[in-house]
């Protein structure tokens, strides 16, 4: 069996390592940090752990709506308990979750005999990797190499991060105090998730987005953006669309931010606005994380911005070297589960198979308030492709379970071909939509129609039956 070297122990890297080891390959997994990569240590899991605290706080503050009152109060008394966030305790819980999952991954490495080497990897000619470890330099030889080196936070030259007044998403996960006033630069996934989290914790948050809607992504249906902006307004979030930060001035009192009309929006003008805040979070995307890998000397091609270029079998320009995950950049899909699928594909090809990566059905989960689950085409994308489609939208408030839970905001939107009824896209906003979207992904993957979903009995009362009700509503029109 081949010797496979994997550089990067994030979701794509460790999934590839575990699959290769189970297939009998000799696997060496190299990473200079803890296992789990950005997702486990600085992204998905820490963010969702902190969001769980924010959700618990929001629920605690409306316990009286469920008939839960503090001990000692009569149900008809006006008094209610006051809850606040203890950020040091939130951070302890976040770290405990992270360390537990890291330890679990390391145990799996031991069980599968995956050799874990800690250090900075550097590609060498002839299929070997030089690793700068704490105890010195080690050279590892392999038959195939999989690059899973991930990405890092994108810094803007106009907004230099000082980790005190102006910070990035990594810093936002380690706050032990809540800024009284926060400006978030970027209304994409990262910016919106942090905005709802820190608003729940009590910060006065303003989101600045250069385009004309929140979550201005092609895959996000415009109805989702409209709902999110309404919910942002309800909870006291301030949203400045079609604007960018022109300058910031740091003083002892805080940060003064000058906002102006966005250069990305033509034909829109308006006055400049000055906002004073206590912290600025820059959340404008990700950048390549290839320092020290020696890519150019090894002959691994990258694009103009430094992302590694691969074909649909995850092969780089160098025979025997593959690349997966965030290091491929936004031309692919920068999601943890996409990296995992790419890792499995790369391993198959390392083992002599000829497997092509399929990006046609990859769901997205956005953990705002409410949550958002997306898979397939948006209505706009479908029409741009010339497809004859019809959409149907069913509100969360039409479902009994949503009322029972006290979770009314949200909807199910189905985008389907008019003639066949084939489901092309599903967009869900509302409680637990990131879990419910799995059914939609399965439906699209298997080319199911709205009739297939409508004729499938869904349990009642559940939120998932919204999929069935939306399909039935589409058939009635």
Q: Which of 163, 176, 403, 460 is catalytic?
A: 460
Distance separating alpha carbons of residues 150 and 40, to the nearest angstrom: 12
141 part of the active site: no
Strands 372-376 and 364-366, sheet pairing: antiparallel
Residue 456 neighbours by CB under 8 Å, 6+ apart:
468
Torsion of CA 279, 284, 290, 295, to 10 degrees: -150
Q: Is 260 left (phi over 0), alpha (psi -120 to 50) or beta?
A: beta
Q: How far apart are CA 25 and CA 17, in angstroms?
A: 9
CA 197-201-202 angle, 5° bins: 120
Asked whether the beta carbons of 208 and 243 are under 8 A apart, the reply is yes
Among residues 380, 231, 459, 378, the alpha carbon closest in space to that of 467 is found at 459
Cα angle value 64/69/72 (rounded, 5°): 155
- Rounded distance between C-alpha atoms, residue 286 and residue 176, angstroms: 24
Mind telling me the catalytic residues?
A: 460
């Amino acid at each position: 069996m081949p010797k496979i070297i994997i550089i990067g122990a994030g979701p794509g890297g460790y999934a590839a390592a575990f699959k290769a080891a189970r297939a009998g390959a000799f696997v060496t997994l190299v990473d200079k940090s803890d296992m789990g990569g950005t997702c486990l240590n600085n992204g998905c899991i820490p963010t969702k752990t902190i969001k769980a605290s924010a959700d618990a706080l929001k629920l605690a503050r409306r316990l009286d709506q469920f008939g839960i009152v503090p001990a000692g109060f009569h149900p008809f008394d006006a008094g209610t308990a006051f809850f606040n966030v203890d950020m040091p305790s939130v951070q302890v819980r976040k770290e405990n979750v992270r360390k537990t999952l890291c330890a679990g991954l390391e145990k799996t490495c031991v069980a599968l005999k995956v050799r874990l080497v800690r250090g900075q990897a550097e590609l060498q000619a002839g299929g070997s990797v030089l690793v700068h470890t704490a105890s010195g330099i080690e050279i590892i030889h392999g038959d195939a190499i999989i690059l899973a080196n991930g990405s890092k936070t994108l810094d803007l030259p106009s907004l230099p991060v000082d980790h005190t007044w102006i910070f990035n998403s990594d810093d936002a996960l380690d706050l032990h105090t809540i800024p009284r006033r926060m400006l978030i630069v970027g209304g994409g996934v990262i910016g919106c998730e942090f905005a709802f989290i820190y608003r729940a914790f009590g910060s006065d948050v303003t989101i600045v987005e250069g385009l004309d809607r929140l979550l201005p992504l092609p895959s996000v249906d415009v109805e989702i953006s409209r709902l999110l902006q309404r919910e942002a307004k309800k909870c006291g979030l301030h949203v400045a669309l079609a604007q960018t930060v022109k300058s910031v001035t740091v003083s002892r009192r805080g940060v003064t931010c000058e906002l102006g009309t966005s250069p990305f929006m033509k034909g829109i003008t308006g006055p400049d606005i000055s906002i004073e805040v206590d912290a600025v979070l820059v959340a404008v995307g990700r950048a390549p994380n290839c320092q020290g890998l020696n890519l150019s000397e090894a002959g691994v091609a990258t694009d103009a911005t430094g992302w590694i270029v691969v074909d649909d079998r995850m092969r780089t320009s160098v025979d025997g070297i593959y690349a997966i995950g965030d290091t491929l950049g936004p031309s692919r899909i920068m999601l943890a589960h996409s990296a995992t699928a790419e890792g499995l594909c790369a391993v198959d090809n390392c083992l002599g198979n000829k497997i092509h990566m399929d990006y046609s059905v990859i769901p997205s989960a956005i953990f705002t308030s409410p949550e958002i689950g997306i898979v397939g085409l948006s209505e706009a994308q479908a029409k741009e492709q010339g497809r004859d489609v019809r959409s149907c939208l069913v509100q969360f408030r039409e479902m009994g379970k949503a009322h029972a839970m006290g979770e009314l905001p949200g909807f199910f939107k189905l985008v389907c071909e008019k003639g066949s009824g084939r489901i092309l896209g599903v967009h869900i906003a509302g409680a637990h939509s990131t879990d419910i979207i799995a059914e939609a992904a399965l439906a699209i993957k298997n080319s199911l129609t709205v009739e297939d979903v409508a004729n499938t009995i869904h349990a009642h009362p559940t939120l998932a039956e919204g999929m069935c009700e939306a399909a039935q509503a589409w058939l009635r029109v």
